[in-house]
Amino acid sequence: MYRPGRMLRPVHSSATFLDGNGKVAVSQTTLNAGPTPGRSAKRSIYISEGTSRWRRFVSFSIEGFLFLVTSLSLIAVFFIILFIAIDAIPFFQLEGFTEFFTSIRWYPSGSPPEFGALAIIFGSGMVTFLAAMIAVPLALLSAVSLSDILPFSVRQFAKPVIEIIAAIPSVAYGFFALVVFAPILQTSGGHLLGILVWLFGAPLALIVSFVVGDMLADRIFGDNVTQVQRTAILLLLMGIFSVGLYFLYAPISAIKISSGTNALNVSIILGIMALPTIVSVSEDALQAVGRELREGSYALGATRAETITKVVIPAARSGIIAAIILGIMRAIGETMVVWMASGNASQIPSPWYNVLEPVRTLTATIAGDMGEADHVTGSSRYHVLFAMALFLLLISFFSNLISEWAVMRSKKKWGV
């Protein structure tokens, strides 16, 4: 019979096992596994010093190999910073810092060439800021609803939606911005803006009139206010808001947009693209706030809204900040959408907050100018693009550190 074990090879003699009827004939002696004298000598748990050393060497090598492969990420990060810097530094050596950061004149192929990137940096900042303005409120609301408000079935539906929004390639968003959205903005942008104002304004006005109406009714009619009185005040307020919104529509819809490829267009699209990051990271942070804290708040008689705004969100603050930073990074680093639909005009809009004018961003400049600059490797025109990349890289590097620190802090706080 066989004995599995390092020293003992299997012996194929099944006859001892099965008798004629196919039944196992197990004799006590064959099964006896105790430490019989003859056997304990063979079945030692010790290994020789040589084997032990060899084993340790093998496991050390395996672990070393795994470590080396893992550290490829670290090496990659190091090399990315190094190689971008190597090609960026010559630019500053050749042209200095002042022009790059203070001038708005960007004529890299002129003679003499001019490398003022201020307008481009401004453009990047502008679309990013605007995108954040659009994405952050919507994303935070969604995150809160996903973690605390919505019933499970809606959550099951919303998660894939968010994942698909995150998965759509940026060139598809850029295509949408350029081919679908820009023409609509150009031909009927004013009306679109008007509709947007209604879309966001109407529900807000509804909520405000409900709440203010309720408070007013209590204030005016005292404690024994009737339902009729409440409704009257509510209708009055809603009327006022509707009239206000109606008159707001006219001036807004009169706005003419001369070019559909502008800062507003890309900001809206970038906002949509940044949504999934912010939603999922801040939802994680909200979920990490324990059940006990919420239940404690409910036990004190707080409503769900109060629990969320006064207890849950403050507790998840650092995670939410990290989420916002990551979302903003996504918007800053995005290339295709801005390249295709921002208009690529290296200018500071006039007035500077005019979001309906074309702008140009760092990423789009790198993507667009490298095609020509590639032929003149070694010139300032080539190196300036690396300088921009270095600038982007440093921003993303530090925001990443900050967000990681924030996540770490919230994790430590909640012990997850």
Partner 1 sequence: MKAHTRKILDKSFTGMGFMSVILLTLSLVIVLGPIFVRGIQAFLFFDTVEYRRMQLDLFDRGDPEEVKAELDEVWAERRFIYDTIAAFEEQVENEEIENSWEYPEKIDSLNDSLKALFGPRPDEPEPVLPRDRYGETRWDRAQQTFKLVMYKEQWDYSDPSAMGSKVLVPRIDSFRGTTVEQIFPYMEENLEKLMLPEFTFYWQFLTDKSHDIHFFGGIGAEVLGTFYLVIGTMLFAIPIGVIAAIYLAEFAKEGKIVSLLRTAISTLAGVPSIVFGLFGLAFFINTMEVSQSKSVLAGSLTLTLLVLPTIIRAAEEAILAVPKAYKEASLSLGASKLYTILKVILPAAMPGILTGIVISMGRAAGETAPIIFTAAVSVGQPLGLFETLNQPTMALPWNIYNLVTEHEAVDQIRHVQFGMVFTLVLLVVVLNFAAIVLRARISKKLRG
Partner 2 sequence: MSQTDAKNVRVSKMQLSKDSIHQKKILNPETEKGHVISEDFSVFYGNTEAIVKANLSMPAKKVTAIIGPSGCGKSTVLRAINRMNDLIPGCYAKGKLIFDDEDIYSQYTDVVLLRKRIGMVFQKPNPFPKSIFDNIAFGPRLCGIRRKSDLQEVFEKSCRQAALWDEVKDRLEDNALGLSGGQQQRLCLARALAVDPEILLMDEPTSALDPRATSKIEDLIRELRGTYTIIIVTHNMQQAARVSDYTAFFYEGVLIEFAPTSELFTNPREKKTEEYITGRFG
Binding residues for partner 2, per CB under 8 A? 2-6, 10, 12, 14, 17, 24, 26, 28, 31-35, 40, 43-49, 51-52, 55
Based on the shown chain and the rule CB under 8 A, indicate whether residue 56 belongs to the binding site for partner 1.
no
Q: Which residue has the tokens 């309720």?
A: 214
Based on the shown chain and the rule CB under 8 A, indicate whether residue 197 belongs to the binding site for partner 1.
no
Based on the shown chain and the rule CB under 8 A, indicate whether residue 202 belongs to the binding site for partner 1.
no
Tokens of 134: 């659009």
| Stretch of residues binding partner 1 (CB under 8 A), selected from 34-42, 68-76, 311-319, 351-359 | 68-76
Q: Is 248 within 8 Å of 201 (Cβ atoms)?
A: yes
Give the HSE-up count for residue 151: Cα atoms under 13 Å, Cβ half-sphere.
1
| Stretch of residues binding partner 1 (CB under 8 A), selected from 21-29, 212-220, 285-293, 350-358 | 212-220
| Stretch of residues binding partner 1 (CB under 8 A), selected from 21-29, 33-41, 177-185, 188-196 | 177-185
Tokens of 158: 């919303």
Tokens of 373: 């600059």
Of 262 and 335, the one with the shorter C-beta distance to partner 1 is 335
Distance of alpha carbon 226 from alpha carbon 221, whole angstroms: 9
Run of H or E including 107: strand 106-107
Handedness of CA 180, 183, 133, 307 (dihedral sign): negative
Distance of alpha carbon 238 from alpha carbon 244, whole angstroms: 10
- H helices of 176-262, in order, are 182-221, 227-253
Based on the shown chain and the rule CB under 8 A, indicate whether residue 183 belongs to the binding site for partner 1.
no
Beta bridge partners of 106: 115
Based on the shown chain and the rule CB under 8 A, indicate whether residue 393 belongs to the binding site for partner 1.
yes
| Stretch of residues binding partner 1 (CB under 8 A), selected from 20-28, 67-75, 238-246, 312-320 | 67-75
Q: What is the DSSP letter of 111?
A: S
Among 7, 11, 18, 76, binds partner 1 (CB under 8 A): 76
Rg (CA), the chain: 33
Of 133 and 161, the one with the shorter C-beta distance to partner 1 is 161
Based on the shown chain and the rule CB under 8 A, indicate whether residue 264 belongs to the binding site for partner 1.
no
167's torsion region: left (phi>0), alpha (psi -120 to 50) or beta?
A: alpha
Of 18 and 300, the one with the shorter C-beta distance to partner 2 is 18
Of 144 and 285, the one with the shorter C-beta distance to partner 1 is 144
CA distances to 1, 48, 236, 371 from 28, rounded to whole Å, are: 13, 33, 96, 83
Of 52 and 309, the one with the shorter C-beta distance to partner 2 is 52
Give the number of other CB atoms < 10 A from CB of residue 318: 19
Binders of partner 1 among residues 277 to 316 (CB under 8 A) are 279, 303-306, 308-309
Q: Is 45 within 8 Å of 51 (Cβ atoms)?
A: no
Q: Using CB distances below 5 to 8 A depending on partner kind, what does residue 94 bind out of partner 1, partner 2, none?
A: none
Q: Is 348 within 8 Å of 119 (Cβ atoms)?
A: yes
Distance of alpha carbon 320 from alpha carbon 334, whole angstroms: 21
Of 42 and 304, the one with the shorter C-beta distance to partner 2 is 42
Of 23 and 256, the one with the shorter C-beta distance to partner 2 is 23
Of 15 and 299, the one with the shorter C-beta distance to partner 2 is 15
Among 270, 345, 359, 366, binds partner 1 (CB under 8 A): 366
Among 1, 26, 141, 250, binds partner 1 (CB under 8 A): 141
Q: How far is the CB of 206 from partner 1 (least distance, A)?
A: 8
Based on the shown chain and the rule CB under 8 A, indicate whether residue 179 belongs to the binding site for partner 1.
yes
| Stretch of residues binding partner 1 (CB under 8 A), selected from 34-42, 150-158, 242-250, 289-297 | 150-158
| Stretch of residues binding partner 1 (CB under 8 A), selected from 34-42, 108-116, 235-243, 324-332 | 324-332
Q: Is 233 within 8 Å of 312 (Cβ atoms)?
A: no
Binders of partner 1 among residues 1 to 40 (CB under 8 A) are none
Of 31 and 69, the one with the shorter C-beta distance to partner 2 is 31
Do β-strands 106-107 and 114-115 pair in parallel, antiparallel, or remain unpaired?
antiparallel
Handedness of CA 348, 349, 353, 359 (dihedral sign): negative
Q: Using CB distances below 5 to 8 A depending on partner kind, what does residue 366 bind out of partner 1, partner 2, none?
A: partner 1
Among 100, 117, 142, 318, binds partner 1 (CB under 8 A): 142
Of 119 and 393, the one with the shorter C-beta distance to partner 1 is 393
